[in-house]
Amino acid sequence: MHDQEEAFDVRAVHRLIRGRRTVKPPQYSGRIIDRSIISEILENANWAPTHGLSQPWRFKVFTGAGLQRLSRGLPALYAAVIPKEEQQSEKLEKLASTPLKASHAILLAVQPGLSPKIPEVEDVEALACAVQNMQLTARAYGIGSFWSTGRQTYDARACVYLGLEEGLQYLGVLYLGYPKHFFPPGAREPLAERVEWIDTDG
Ligand SMILES: Cc1cc2nc3c(=O)[nH]c(=O)nc-3n(C[C@H](O)[C@H](O)[C@H](O)COP(=O)(O)O)c2cc1C
């Protein structure tokens, strides 16, 4: 076995990946995550793969009183984007209350088109890789996470309501907090239905 292979506990990696669960802010304990841990979570995001090393992700980290801004911005965005007759008051209330139940909320965005040779969809793909790194790192620290999106997320006006620099593409919020109780069990359909192996030359 090579040195590099020995450096990782593969069973621990399996447990981490399969044991990561979405845990939403109403299930958080209220305990605040240390800034040093948030920094490690962000550092691991920055190590996600990117085509041409474009690192298109841009994050805004809200915590403490900063969460109030998100609690105002998210419902304001929803109210501006969703047609009046389709708006739900419970949804507005939830968008306002959810950030205040989290220890930290990370606004997720990409700067699209950094390289003209790379299709813009790959910026979004890279951001998703970065979010996965954050969710796994959070889980390793015993922290729950929730990637939250909605119809209003993909509207160009999001930058205005959420204080993002113009030109950035907003892709949702990653909420973080220690679970009050436990990580819930997960469920997945069988893998076999989603994989085809090709091992003959036909
Ligand atoms: C891009 C993306 C957006 C998501 N947006 C939402 C959302 O708006 N609301 C929600 O309840 N869950 C959202 N989720 C989380 C999924 O519901 C969750 O990952 C799924 O139920 C599987 O559960 P698990 O994460 O615990 O394995 C999102 C996940 C991804 C990857």
**Residue to mutate, 17, 131, 149, ligand 1, most ligand atoms under 8 Å from C-beta:** 149
Q: Which CATH number fits domain 79-180: 3.40.109.10, 3.30.43.10, 3.40.605.10, 2.30.30.100?
A: 3.40.109.10
> By alpha-carbon position, which residue is closest to atom 6 of ligand 1?
148
CA of 116 to the centre of ligand 1 (A): 31
The number of angstroms, rounded, from the C-alpha of 147 to the middle of its chain's C-alpha atoms is 4
Place of tokens 């047609």: 83
- Give the three-class secondary structure for 171: strand
* Spatial distance between the Cα atoms of 37 and 43, rounded to a whole number of angstroms: 10
Q: What is the pTM of this model?
A: 0.96
CA of 4 to the centre of ligand 1 (A): 33
CA of 87 to the centre of ligand 1 (A): 21
The DSSP line for 54-66 is ---EEEEEEETTH
CA of 124 to the centre of ligand 1 (A): 16
Tokens encoding 192: 């076999």
Neighbours of 189 (CB within 10 A): 7
The number of angstroms, rounded, from the C-alpha of 131 to the middle of its chain's C-alpha atoms is 4
Give the β-pairing of 104-110 and 169-177: antiparallel
Residue percentage of the chain with pLDDT more than 70: 97
> By alpha-carbon position, which residue is closest to atom 17 of ligand 1?
22
* Spatial distance between the Cα atoms of 79 and 91, rounded to a whole number of angstroms: 10
CA of 195 to the centre of ligand 1 (A): 22
pLDDT of residue 150: 97
pLDDT tens for 18-69 read: 999 999 999 999 999 999 999 999 999 999 999 999 999 999 999 999 999 9
Tokens encoding 121: 């969809």
pLDDT tens for 60-101 read: 999 999 999 999 999 999 999 999 999 999 999 999 999 999
Ligand 1 pocket list (CB less than 6 A): 21-22, 147-150, 172, 186
* Spatial distance between the Cα atoms of 104 and 128, rounded to a whole number of angstroms: 19
